[in-house]
Amino acid sequence: MLSTKLQIQSKLPQVPTSIFAVMSGLAHKENALNLSQGFPNFESDSKLIELVNKAMVNGGNQYAPMPGILSLREVIADKMKSLYDVSYNPETEIIITAGATQAIFTAIAATVKKDDEVIIFKPAYDCYEPTIELFGGKTKAVQLDPEEFSINWEEVKGLITDKTRLIIINSPHNPSGRVLSKHDMLQLENLLRNTNILLLSDEVYEHIIFDGEKHQSAALFPALAERAFITASFGKTFHNTGWKVGYCIAPELLMEEFKKVHQFNVFSVHHPTQIALAEYMKSPSNYLELGSFYQQKRDLFLSLIKESRFEFKPSKGTYFQLLNFKNITTENDYDFAVRLTKEMKIAGIPISVFNEQNLDTKVLRFCFAKTDDTIRAAAKILNKI
């Protein structure tokens, strides 16, 4: 029984339950196809699962070293060298985290103080803003145009003040599937060069990029790399989002601060998974083939719904596809998403929840990280709407 005197003053009074929990919960209750939350409905490579099992059987079951096991940090450094020709010191510049979410949380916690300003781009992944708020920072949001999701860098320049501490970018972008170009990154580099502003580059979909595009990591641009926390997710790359293992890369000066928070935030991350990933990552094809794997799924999905009443532009990266429903109904996106789940038995995510002031652009996000059978079943429903 709670004492009537007990009162909690929320540190995050505006934060509702995450839309992913809401829509996944509803999909489950309604027995609907769940294309809302971003996770695959197929298994991780059995070789990787065997490697985790082996690590457990061989006794890798106690605390891992605080920054992660060195062999895993070394293969990440090798990957950064071979893909982007940049050198990160595995001893001091790479930390294994409990998913990208913890990497993002820790980077913000380590750098944002009361009244610092943080620039983000909306629609934005939902963990950035509450974390900024939790540490007393102020979010300054740039609403991207709903057609192209392109960034007006002049607008960004106009938002920078002497209080700007951090800019958060995300490419390939959830939810739009937009990919930042080299030109975008050069403009950002020009804005940040010779400033004291840090960058958080959320690159969890680094390997899920289509149509021959090249991922423009912040690591490739010297004036960005020197100030960037780059966050990554093994869950997204190796089809095991439930394992919640990722990492953060940053220059030593930044990583020293990151580490101070990390050691009291989680201290260290699931050890057997790290042992397995260190071995599995030795074969680059395990992540380099991901783009073509998901491109086939995107193409299957889009070819099957091309006659539907939804309008779309093919996603350029991530495993999300936006579908515009303005030809179908004038309902707001949230109501439409709920109705589709209940009546048509398919769940997507209403985009307004990621937008500034919940701007409703009549768009839902669907996740195509699904078996081909599920994609076919989803398309069949979408074609009937």
Ligand X SMILES: Cc1ncc(COP(=O)(O)O)c(C=O)c1O
Which residues of the shown chain bind ligand X in the complex (CB under 6 A)?
38, 99-101, 125, 170, 174, 202, 204, 233, 235, 241, 244, 246
| Backbone phi and psi for residue 237, each to the nearest 5 degrees, phi listed first | -80, -35
Nearer Cβ to ligand X, position 173 or 308?
173
Q: Which residue shows structure tokens 């990154």?
A: 185
Q: Where on the phi/psi map is residue 369: left (φ > 0), alpha (ψ -120 to 50), or beta?
A: beta
Q: Which residues contact 171 (CB under 8 A, 6 or more apart)?
A: 178, 179, 180, 201, 203, 205, 215, 216, 317
Q: Is 57 helix (H, G, I), strand (E, B) or coil?
A: helix
CA 100 to chain centre: 7
* Residue whose CB is less far from ligand X, 83 or 100: 100
For residue 27, the minimal CB distance to ligand X (Å) is: 16
CB of 235 to ligand X, least distance (A): 4
Per-residue burial over 277-314, b if 16 or more Cβ lie within 10 Å, else e, is bbbbbeeeebbeebbeebbebbebbbebbeebbbebee
CB nearer ligand X, residue 102 or residue 308: 102
Q: Which is nearer to ligand X, 174 or 308 (CB)?
A: 174
CB of 125 to ligand X, least distance (A): 4
Helix (H) or strand (E) run with residue 295 in it: helix 290-304
Beta bridge partners of 169: 201
Shorter beta-carbon distance to ligand X: residue 72 or 204: 204
CB of 288 to ligand X, least distance (A): 19
Q: How far is the CB of 315 from ligand X (least distance, A)?
A: 13
Bridge-based pairing state of the strands 246-249 and 228-233: antiparallel
Left, alpha or beta for 239 (phi > 0: left; psi -120 to 50: alpha)? left
CB of 208 to ligand X, least distance (A): 10
Shortest distance in whole angstroms from residue 92 CB to ligand X: 23
Closest CA to 142 of 117, 129, 123, 116: 123
β-pairing verdict for 138-143 and 117-122: parallel
Closer to ligand X at the Cβ: 246 or 348?
246
Min separation Cβ 346 and ligand X, Å = 20
Which residue, judged by CB position, is nearest to ligand X in the bound state?
99
Q: 100 or 275, CB closer to ligand X?
A: 100
What is the DSSP code (8-state) at residue 205? Answer: T
First CA to last CA distance, the chain: 49
Closer to ligand X at the Cβ: 240 or 295? Answer: 240
